[in-house]
Structure 1
Amino acid sequence: MEDNENHQPPSLIERIKHIIWRINDDDIFGRAAQLSYYFLLALFPLLLVLINLLGYFAQEGTGFRNQLITYLAAVIPSSAVSLIKTTLDEISNSSGSGKVSLGLLAALWAASNGMGAISQTLNTVYNVKETRSWWEVRLVSVVLTVALAVLIIAALAIVLYGGTIGDALAARFGFTDFFTTAWSILQWPIALGFVLGTFNLIYNFAPNLSRSQRRWFTLGAVVAVALWLLISFGFRLYLHYFDSYSVTYGSLGALIVLMLWFYLTGVAILIGGEVNCEADERCRRDIEERTRAENKASAS
């Protein structure tokens, strides 16, 4: 009878308890602090990649940069946005046109370091060992960074130029005003779909998972995006009413705010990974076997 009970799938409450226990056991908050450091190092190279790529295709890099900063301000605290804008202006002013190609490759390589850090931490979350070579991990990190840039560009293009795209489609195919109205509403869910696709790519290919463990759609991506948006807007609201970082840290306040936002972003990503592991029977079984082995070792 006990065996039958052991083979019954855990209830929702039990799954939530498992996730909370593993968040503590895997030191998610400590690993998120590690991610925040790599995110900071990768931020400006990634933004330069985005600005140069979309600016190249749209032929309006400066205008796109200003619009990008505007939309970042909707999520990132204002003091951190000011720091990002100032730094990007300084980098752009000190870079000549002849350095763009080489600088873009260097920026891509630097931005992939953040993805490499995500790979290491998600391996721990999924309880898998890294069997790929250094070059394989680096190649995956670079490819994921490019894919991340493409998906972000697609999402931003829909948000920034959604009206123009809708009008062009309506004129090209002779759609009515109903299509234009529907498109103005649907462009936001579509952009959100690109963001979910970005998280799904990270969860499927950043850690060293087998093909059987990969899913086109993961619950963890939904949880991570929802948690990230909730944390971001909550953090902005807190800073709006209780902004004490500038008083405590002075001129470093903006950097501290940006680091803290990166930290909370890392927490959301790793918690999403824990949700995916709990939803995956093989991953959950491996965790349970490891826990039993550790308990036996400590008892003996």
Structure 2
Amino acid sequence: MPESAPVSRRGRAVYALRRTWRGYLRGRGYDAAAALTFFAVLTAFPAVLLTVAAFALRDSSADAASELVAVIGPFVPAGETDTVRDAIGELLSLRSPGVAVLIGIALTLWTASGWCTAYGRAVNTICGVQEGRPFWFFRGWMLVVAAAAIVLGGAALGILLIGPDTIGELVGGPLSPVTATAWAIVRWPLLLVLLVALLALLQRHAPNVRVSGLRRLSIGSLLTLTAWSAVTAGFALYLHLIGAYGQLYGRLGILLAGVLWAYLSSTALVLGAQLDVELIRLQQLDEGVEAEDHIRLPVKRTDRMLQLARQHDQDVAEGRRMRESLSRSGASTSSD
């Protein structure tokens, strides 16, 4: 039988991309993106409470409202600035901002850990493995990962929201134009570094598989960042040029727009993880590993897998005893 010709680089790329899309559909990646969106929205509410309470703790309500509107103003659809200002004013009417900060930290940490857990489950499904870490260990570790993710994500969001003009106003004086120009140049590479670090953190600690090396700038991460940037830029352009959400739904339109943006961002994240797995598959195929069906990655722990297997065997054995008992009872009745 003649040897098959080696696959070209283009053929390999087409194979990886095709399996990425088919794996996304076959593994119901859209459901994973919806779960990530749910936890992202759930995290957003206490995060907003925490941010507003922190501003209220530092400044008066009027100053805090002005600062927050100045920061998020460029990202608000045209004509909705007054709506956002009113909503912020209502939130700033907190009587105990210190207590609100503590509650916001606790709720944000817990809901963000749920998001990290959902991401870990999504990657486990893509890799074809189950979660093997005990529940208490897994959720405890996800709280630690969530704390680091909140710091990285909050810093990235701050860089995204705080523009050169805002930095110039904060610095003031003759150095204001220089500082604004420097920030306009430095902010984007810094944002890229923070997002790559966030993706590396999630890839390494959220799923139940081990990948050799940190792969801090994998191709899947590049796909995620590129798709997320395109989604963010396109959606911001849509909101400013069309603003249909505000016209159709009023104040609720801002929330609906945010949910749609979160879903598209989550879809990019899941597709990036799927592409990473397919590239690992290509590497293993090159090494002669039989990875056509399942990639071969070591799992971190198997405690929960063994527990679920024992419970499954116990349920099956109990069901078999019930069936056999009923069979014997029926045979005895018919003989009588």
Give the structure-1-normalised TM-score. 0.72
Partner residue, 1:223 = 223
Contact 2:80 2:246 in 1 (8 A): no
The one-letter amino acid of 2:274's match is E
The one-letter amino acid of 1:34's match is A
Pick the aligned partner of 1:288 from 278, 292, 295. Answer: 292
CA deviation map 1:179-204 (0-9, x unaligned): 99777623431222112211221222
Partner residue, 2:145 = 144
The one-letter amino acid of 1:277's match is V
Partner residue, 1:46 = 47
Check if 1:135 corresponds to 2:136: yes
Query: 1-side partners of 2:183 and 2:265: how far apart?
Result: 30
- For residues 226-241 of structure 1, what are the structure 2 equivalents within 5 Å? 226-241=226-241
Query: 2-side partners of 1:76 and 1:31: how far apart?
Result: 28
Contact 2:54 2:97 in 1 (8 A): no
What is the DSSP-based 3-state SS (H/G/I as helix, E as strand, rest coil) of the residue aligned with 2:293?
helix
Instruction: Classify 1:140/1:255 alpha carbon distance in 2 versus 1 (closer, same or farther; 3 Å).
Output: same
The offset of 1:93, in angstroms, is 2.4
Larger mean CA deviation between 151-160 and 248-257 belongs to: 151-160
- For residues 171-250 of structure 1, what are the structure 2 equivalents within 5 Å? 185-212=185-212, 214-246=214-246, 248-249=248-249
The offset of 1:233, in angstroms, is 1.4
The one-letter amino acid of 1:46's match is A
Partner residue, 2:261 = 261
Partner residue, 1:297 = none
Partner residue, 1:36 = 37
Contact 1:18 1:278 in 2 (8 A): yes
Larger mean CA deviation between 185-194 and 99-108 belongs to: 99-108
Check if 1:271 corresponds to 2:271: yes
Partner residue, 1:175 = none
Partner residue, 1:123 = 124
Contact 2:39 2:111 in 1 (8 A): no
Query: 1-side partners of 2:77 and 2:116: how far apart?
Result: 23
The offset of 1:244, in angstroms, is 3.4
CA deviation map 1:244-292 (0-9, x unaligned): 334554553332222111110110111111121122237887873259x
The offset of 1:228, in angstroms, is 0.5
Instruction: Classify 1:39/1:134 alpha carbon distance in 2 versus 1 (closer, same or farther; 3 Å).
Output: same
Instruction: Classify 1:75/1:42 alpha carbon distance in 2 versus 1 (closer, same or farther; 3 Å).
Output: same
The offset of 1:82, in angstroms, is 7.9
Query: 1-side partners of 2:211 and 2:26: how far apart?
Result: 26
The offset of 1:236, in angstroms, is 2.5
Instruction: Classify 1:79/1:221 alpha carbon distance in 2 versus 1 (closer, same or farther; 3 Å).
Output: farther
Contact 2:47 2:104 in 1 (8 A): no
Number of aligned positions between the proteins? 281
- For residues 1-12 of structure 1, what are the structure 2 equivalents within 5 Å? 2=3, 11-12=12-13
Contact 1:26 1:124 in 2 (8 A): yes
Larger mean CA deviation between 25-34 and 207-216 belongs to: 207-216
**For structure 1, which runs of at least 5 residues remain unmatched after alignment?**
172-177, 292-300
What is the DSSP-based 3-state SS (H/G/I as helix, E as strand, rest coil) of the residue aligned with 2:212?
helix
**For structure 2, which runs of at least 5 residues remain unmatched after alignment?**
296-336
Partner residue, 1:298 = none
Contact 1:83 1:254 in 2 (8 A): no
Query: 1-side partners of 2:79 and 2:207: how far apart?
Result: 33
The offset of 1:30, in angstroms, is 2.9
Contact 2:43 2:111 in 1 (8 A): yes
Contact 1:79 1:254 in 2 (8 A): no
The one-letter amino acid of 2:271's match is I
Tell me the percent identity.
25
The offset of 1:41, in angstroms, is 0.8
The one-letter amino acid of 1:146's match is A
Contact 1:46 1:107 in 2 (8 A): yes
Quick check: which has more Rg, 1 or 2? 2
Structure number having the greater helix percentage: 1
Query: 1-side partners of 2:125 and 2:202: how far apart?
Result: 14
